Amino acid sequence: MTAAQEVLILCDDAGELAVTYEEMLKYHGRDFYGGVALAFKVLQLAFARLLGKQVPHRNKLRLVVGFNPPGVIDGLEYATRALTRQRLVLDPDPPQGPPSVFGRYYFEVHYESRALCLWLKPDILPEAFTPLARKALAGLATDEERSQWQDYKLALGPAIMAMAPEALLACSEPGRSPGDLK
């Protein structure tokens, strides 16, 4: 299945929903492509691990994130409505995940009494990505640096969507060590 064919299936009170990366990206506004793709893969892996073939209901999902970049937050919001329904919490000191300009690449997906902690594996992002992001967001990047950061953001979406979520994200259950979950 190609990234263009991947869908997240959820339901709400009106029925079943099929959510694609492209829809999430349109909702976001097409800037932080990698963040939107990361949100998609986090939900994809969490749904598979927590629910198997069961379709998650939006209202039963609760999220904790270790950072708040626009692409990730918009992607999570489009699929789950967790932000507007006050079921998304920003953890300023998450236990795992590589650093980001916005915090750490860390997620918890809670569904009823089950939960899964996920974080970005090392060496997924280009080494220069975070330093360039810091400079660009602070308004200190040169034109060349801003262009390079924009190129990274544009390339990350398709690259992340082409990856299996297990290749992208490490995970464990809350309170367990990362090696406990295979």
pLDDT at 157 over 70: yes
- What does the pLDDT look like over 66-79, one tens digit per residue? 999 999 999 999 99
CA 121/CA 28 separation, integer angstroms? 24
Quick check: helix, strand or coil at residue 53? coil
Cβ neighbours of 137 (radius 10 Å): 13
- What does the pLDDT look like over 80-105, one tens digit per residue? 999 999 999 999 999 999 999 999 99
| Residue 176 pLDDT | 52
CA 113/CA 111 separation, integer angstroms? 6
CA 139/CA 114 separation, integer angstroms? 42
φ, ψ for residue 164, nearest 5 deg: -70, 140
Domains, the chain, with CATH or none: 3-170 (3.30.1330.130)
CA 139/CA 136 separation, integer angstroms? 5
Would the pTM of this model clear 0.85, i.e. be above it?
Answer: yes
pLDDT at 182 over 60: no
- What does the pLDDT look like over 38-77, one tens digit per residue? 999 999 999 999 999 999 999 999 999 999 999 999 999 9
Nearest to 44 by CA among 175, 181, 160, 122: 160
Amino acid identity, residue 117? Answer: C
| Residue 167 pLDDT | 97
Segment 3-12 shows an average pLDDT of 86
Cβ neighbours of 168 (radius 10 Å): 21
HSE-CB for 67 with a 13 A CA cutoff? 21
Percent of the chain whose predicted confidence (pLDDT) is above 70: 93
pLDDT at 126 over 50: yes
